Structure 1
Amino acid sequence: MRKIYNFLSSVKLAVAIFFLLASGSIAGTLIEQGLSPEEYITRFGEKWYRWIQTIRLTDVYHSWWFSSLLVLLAVNLAVCLSKRVPAIWRAYSSVDCDFTHNLVLNFRHHTLIPFQGDMEDAKRKVESSLKGRKYKLWREDNHGKIAIFATKGAIGRLGPVISHVSIFLILIGAALSSAIGFRGFLPVYEGVPVNVPEGNFTIVLDKFWIDYYENGKVKDYFSTITVIDNGKSVLKKTIQVNDPLQYKGIWFYQNGNIDPDTAPQYSELQIAKDPGVNIVWAGSGLLMVGLLISFFIFHRRLWISIVPSENRALIYIGGISNKDTTGLETEMDRLINDIQSVGGLRGAN
């Protein structure tokens, strides 16, 4: 069971799925989808058509294997989240003030500052410097020693989680569109009502015309469409390429490839119902948020131990960052310089 769990959560599996999905998408782009068998036979020959049809390359995005890959990707994401979220949440929410200066010295990035002043002065200076850099602080005084835990950018830990959830949303939107959405072409003639598939209403082409450039080339196509629902005219709009009409979740686009010889009384519309598109857009936006958080917000944690030593205080500072260790080093240097500017003598790494 553990082997299956590790396999389903592996990065290698995710990479393989993305590779196969990309390959399928490329095939679906190179091989025009939804043509008649005769058109495929004319283009590829009967032998190749049988092979293409067998593996559903004529309808890639509704094929059993493409859907199976999407389901497997969803499972991979779910298992990855179940495996990583507990550790991410612990790192995001944990507060650790139960430590000594010996622990601080074990960090890769650490320093010691002999501070010319008493413990209270050292504490105030450290806390002031940390708050000035937007750190959130917790402090514990224990037997004359002071332990300070400081953290900022914890939300950076959630970037991968947000990205994974966003991909879930994209998959859900795509599955919804695949299950109950459709896309196709609808020929319409002037004055002839046409029933809209799955729309339970009709449309009428009132007028179709073409604008031309001075050199005689087609500039744009226009169709004035009336929507009739329950016997009443409920909507009328003149559409053109890239300016569609929408009614009851169904979009009507002006096709830009019409033979001008048939233009006076005929137009061809592309119709589409994509109920998952808003979910896909929401997932895409959330994915951008997750990536921005992952790339530009870093979770930094500092452990500061202040201990008395004769007539001065010793300040031990150690820190870690989930990413951008160079930035952590720079920030620790600035923090050290700030503390030294008041009472610090010199740092010892």
Structure 2
Amino acid sequence: MATRQTSDVPVNRKQSHNQGWLYRTMVSIETSLVFFGLFALIFLMGTVFPQSSEPDRLEKYGDAGGRLVGLAGSLNLLNVFHSWYFGLLVLLFTLHVLLCSIHRFDILRKRPKFRLFTRESLLRREISFSVTSSLPDAAANIEKKLRSMGFRRLKYYSEDAHLKRLIVEKGLPFRWLSWAYHLCILTALAGFALSYCFAFEDYLVLAVGERKAIRVRSPETNYQILKKLLRGSTDAPSRQIEIELARFRTEYTQRPVLQYPHHSFRRLLAVWGGGDETLHYQLTDDSLFVRDWFSLLNIYEEGRLIRKKEIEVNDPLRYAGLTFYQIGYDYECSLTVADELIPNVPAGEPFTIPQMEGEFRLNTPRLGTLFRYDGKIAVLSPTAELQYRPPALPRKRKWTTVADLPLAQTREAMHTRMTLNSIRQSSVLSYRYDPGVPLLWFAATAALIFMALRIYMPWYQVHCHADSSTGRIIIAVSIRLVGLFARPERLREKLKDALRG
């Protein structure tokens, strides 16, 4: 029994020592620097290697001539922010910030302890001075004068009638500000965790007048997948809504295009004012640029119209936790060539016409409202540009414009009658559910505010030592300060004037 008891004592001491070392390591500033260095390294890899979540990303990367394909595949460098080691690093960093916050809070909640100080020790400090007052009540009125300057008492010592010590402070408590932005970092990490577990994003293409049903919550989130693995069962059908595209419109604007000589030497002469050709701006048929897209959306739930809003690129629609963004457009045209109908021709994609060689392409039709350069507003007539590419070697094939096809009008192109019968407009929407966004916005904003206050706003702590044992009142003062806006010289002059009486 004695032998066992003796052998157990060193083991327990060693475990206690290891636990203390681990805790001190986790709450140290050196550990924070290590985490920041590792995050910087991973962010650098995410910048160097193209990031993608597609299953065949490694094959595409290799086909495009990417280097270190084997290393990129083994370390998941093409999707590094969803790799196991990045997730582990985030978890360890969260634990580190949590322990630092608890450790710091435990220190801050205790009242600070101040040691006794002498006049000589104060004057050895960096910002210190000494004043002499002939007023008999100068020592008794020190605290009153400092309170009138905005200071508050932290500690007061009065050993006898001749010796008094006082500690006061003024400004925002920088230690609590430091703890507050640590708490904001934890809140932001909680927001990231919510987004990782519950967020999802999907896309929707709606033609004008078309209505589609979507789920408010996705069964493919990380939380639902983990829930299915643990329970081995599927959830009940989730809530659904219907979204309809009532109208889609495009706004264009005119911008003059700079005209310049194509030959480099003539262009140089034109810049310096020589030669016959000059640099000038000109409005051409190609001077139209898209200014914005608008989609009028109707949201139905259980057959009833619940919400109606016209969205644009930077003005989304929010409903039931979902946010609908305008991200693009799509056009499909119906074309008649001679007497043959060619339906559902996607704009911008090559197609073939029977009994004609080569490939054809309809550029994106122009229809909508034009805000002219002279300030007037006009309505564009729906027109699509038809381009042709001959059957030659791929490197030599170029697209050339062969006709402009107005809607419902017949034009002759390449000795053939062609008619643009219809243009079907579609809106490309992205919708996303992310419950972590409010936490992230709040935490990021609050963290920046607290950090700015911690860095810039002044904080002062003043130690005063008043001694009247020699018949004169000698007051020694030292000043501690934090903050870029702190002005120690100005405060020192104010304190000298106030303490002299």
- The verdict on a shared fold, with TM-score over 0.5 as the criterion, is yes
Q: Check conservation: 1:160, 1:291, Cα contact below 8 A.
A: yes
Please name the residue that 1:346 is paired with: none
Distance in 1, Cα, partners of 2:184 & 2:26: 19
Aligned match for 1:277, one of 421, 426, 437 = 437
Determine if the alignment matches structure 1 residue 86 to structure 2 residue 103: no
Q: Check conservation: 1:157, 1:298, Cα contact below 8 A.
A: no
Please name the residue that 1:338 is paired with: 498
Please name the residue that 1:209 is paired with: 249
Which segment is superposed worse, 325-334 or 281-290?
A: 325-334
**For residue 221 of structure 1, what is the amino acid of its counterpart?**
W
Aligned match for 1:8, one of 26, 34, 43 = 26
Q: Tell me how far 1:31 sits from its aligned partner.
A: 2.2
Q: Check conservation: 1:97, 1:139, Cα contact below 8 A.
A: no
Distance in 2, Cα, partners of 1:207 & 1:301: 65
Distance in 2, Cα, partners of 1:45 & 1:111: 73
Please name the residue that 2:315 is paired with: 243
Please name the residue that 1:70 is paired with: 90
Which segment is superposed worse, 100-109 or 147-156?
A: 100-109
Aligned residues: 336
Distance in 2, Cα, partners of 1:110 & 1:5: 38
> Deviation string for 1:206-228 (max 9, x for gaps)?
23232333433323222222111
- CA 1:49 to 1:107, structure 2 compared with 1: closer, same or farther past 3 Å? closer
SS at match of 1:18: helix
SS at match of 1:256: strand
**For residue 179 of structure 1, what is the amino acid of its counterpart?**
C
Please name the residue that 1:301 is paired with: 461
- CA 1:54 to 1:207, structure 2 compared with 1: closer, same or farther past 3 Å? farther
Q: Check conservation: 2:457, 2:486, Cα contact below 8 A.
A: no
SS at match of 2:52: coil
- CA 1:219 to 1:104, structure 2 compared with 1: closer, same or farther past 3 Å? closer
**For residue 428 of structure 2, what is the amino acid of its counterpart?**
E
- CA 1:325 to 1:143, structure 2 compared with 1: closer, same or farther past 3 Å? farther
SS at match of 2:328: coil
Determine if the alignment matches structure 1 residue 289 to structure 2 residue 306: no
- CA 1:313 to 1:233, structure 2 compared with 1: closer, same or farther past 3 Å? same
Aligned match for 1:192, one of 197, 200, 210 = 210
Determine if the alignment matches structure 1 residue 131 to structure 2 residue 156: no
- CA 1:57 to 1:201, structure 2 compared with 1: closer, same or farther past 3 Å? farther
Gaps in structure 2 of 5+ consecutive residues: 1-18, 218-239, 255-286, 333-346, 348-363, 365-422
Q: Tell me how far 1:317 sits from its aligned partner.
A: 2.1
Q: Tell me how far 1:178 sits from its aligned partner.
A: 1.6
Q: Residues 81-160 of structure 1 correspond to what in structure 2 (within 5 A)?
A: 81-90=101-110, 93-94=111-112, 96=114, 101=119, 104-105=122-123, 107-118=125-136, 120-124=137-141, 126-137=142-153, 139-144=156-161, 145-153=163-171, 155-160=173-178
Please name the residue that 1:347 is paired with: none
Aligned match for 1:224, one of 275, 284, 296 = 296
Distance in 2, Cα, partners of 1:56 & 1:195: 36
**For residue 208 of structure 1, what is the amino acid of its counterpart?**
F
Gaps in structure 1 of 5+ consecutive residues: 343-349
Aligned match for 2:480, one of 309, 320, 327 = 320
Distance in 1, Cα, partners of 2:114 & 2:479: 12
- CA 1:187 to 1:43, structure 2 compared with 1: closer, same or farther past 3 Å? farther
SS at match of 1:143: coil
SS at match of 2:248: strand
**For residue 321 of structure 1, what is the amino acid of its counterpart?**
L
Q: Check conservation: 1:109, 1:329, Cα contact below 8 A.
A: no
Q: Tell me how far 1:267 sits from its aligned partner.
A: 1.9
**For residue 148 of structure 2, what is the amino acid of its counterpart?**
G
Which segment is superposed worse, 142-151 or 188-197?
A: 188-197
Q: Check conservation: 1:169, 1:283, Cα contact below 8 A.
A: yes
TM-score, length-normalised on structure 1?
Answer: 0.82
Q: Tell me how far 1:327 sits from its aligned partner.
A: 3.7
TM-score, length-normalised on structure 2?
Answer: 0.59
Which is richer in helix?
1
Compute the RMSD of aligned alpha carbons: 3.2
Q: Tell me how far 1:2 sits from its aligned partner.
A: 2.7
Distance in 1, Cα, partners of 2:188 & 2:288: 44
Please name the residue that 2:374 is paired with: none
Q: Residues 245-264 of structure 1 correspond to what in structure 2 (within 5 A)?
A: 245-256=317-328, 258=330, 261=347, 264=424
Distance in 2, Cα, partners of 1:298 & 1:326: 4
Distance in 1, Cα, partners of 2:432 & 2:320: 11
Give the structure with higher Rg (CA): 2
**For residue 328 of structure 2, what is the amino acid of its counterpart?**
G
Give the share of equivalent positions with the same residue, in percent: 22
- CA 1:65 to 1:98, structure 2 compared with 1: closer, same or farther past 3 Å? same
Q: Tell me how far 1:13 sits from its aligned partner.
A: 3.1
Which segment is superposed worse, 148-157 or 21-30?
A: 21-30
- CA 1:196 to 1:21, structure 2 compared with 1: closer, same or farther past 3 Å? farther
SS at match of 1:228: strand
Q: Residues 44-63 of structure 1 correspond to what in structure 2 (within 5 A)?
A: 44-45=62-63, 52=72, 54-63=74-83
**For residue 244 of structure 2, what is the amino acid of its counterpart?**
V
**For residue 142 of structure 1, what is the amino acid of its counterpart?**
E
Which is richer in strand?
2
Q: Tell me how far 1:23 sits from its aligned partner.
A: 4.4
Distance in 2, Cα, partners of 1:50 & 1:97: 62
Q: Check conservation: 1:62, 1:178, Cα contact below 8 A.
A: no
Distance in 2, Cα, partners of 1:256 & 1:188: 11
